[in-house]
Amino acid sequence: MLGLPDGTRACLFDLDGVLTDTASVHAAAWKQMFDDFLRARAERDGTSLQPFDVQADYGPYVDGRPRLEGTRGFLRSRGIELPEGGPEEAPDAETIYALSTKKNDLVQEKIIEMGVDVYPGSVRYLQAVRNAGLATAVVSSSANAEQVLDVAGLTGLIERRVDGVSARERGLPGKPAPDTFLAAAADLGVDRTEAVVFEDALVGVASGKAGGFGFVVGVDRLGHADALREHGADVVVTDLAELLGENS
């Protein structure tokens, strides 16, 4: 009924792009933050502006990654090295930490202004999973996962949450390392082979594959089904409703 292997006891869901459409909110926040920084740098150096390209840059450098790592990776793709910085700095400092914080502030503003869109097929699937007696967890690199789940009305369907905040507190490396998914399975009291990972990001699928989980579902929101399979997805769907035998 759920399109999952026999013996499955738990479902571990990424949040942005799998359950909610906050991926578009994150992409907009990344673009605004990077473009502001790149524009100021270009004006100061007398060079032309090459803005952040959501289509070309979002997936390879920032999607599914911890915020600091995403900032660092994109800037390096442009040949830009900045100091790491820390929480004591001014918001306009040109450091990895300050830029990452600015991006997070923009996400929170956009969530308040725009709300959170939930994929209806994902809600139906979550409800079916709970009705079948399976355990559920959200595993997200976002520091805003608790807020997003609450605004989206999904909190009651999720038993455990491992996100950017708790991962930092627990010293867990982010995706593509499998540690956050492994922690969620442990929190639910199930073996990794009894847990299924649901991911839309390439690094997230790679994380599920590396962790030795029972099954990895790739959710193709961006038209990169082949890449999801190459990174380790056992099956790829465009919407979780397909696993229920519905049209997406």
Which of 14, 57, 179, 200 is the catalytic position?
Answer: 14
Q: Which residues pair with 161 in a beta bridge?
A: 138
Q: Which residues pair with 216 in a beta bridge?
A: 197
Rounded Cα gap, residues 163 and 146, in angstroms: 8
**Nearest CA to 58 among 211, 198, 200?**
200
Secondary structure percentages of the chain, helix, strand, coil, to 5: 50, 10, 40
Which of 16, 57, 187, 200 is the catalytic position?
Answer: 16
List CB contacts of 170: < 8 A, sequence separation 6 or more. 183
**Torsion sign across C-alpha atoms 87, 93, 97, 101:** positive
Q: Is 14 a catalytic residue?
A: yes
Q: Which helix (H) or strand (E) holds 138?
A: strand 135-139
- Cβ 112 vs Cβ 25: under 8 Å: no
Rounded Cα gap, residues 98 and 89, in angstroms: 7
Q: Is 16 a catalytic residue?
A: yes
C-alpha angle 187-210-3 in degrees, rounded to nearest 5: 70
**Active-site residues: which are they?**
14, 16
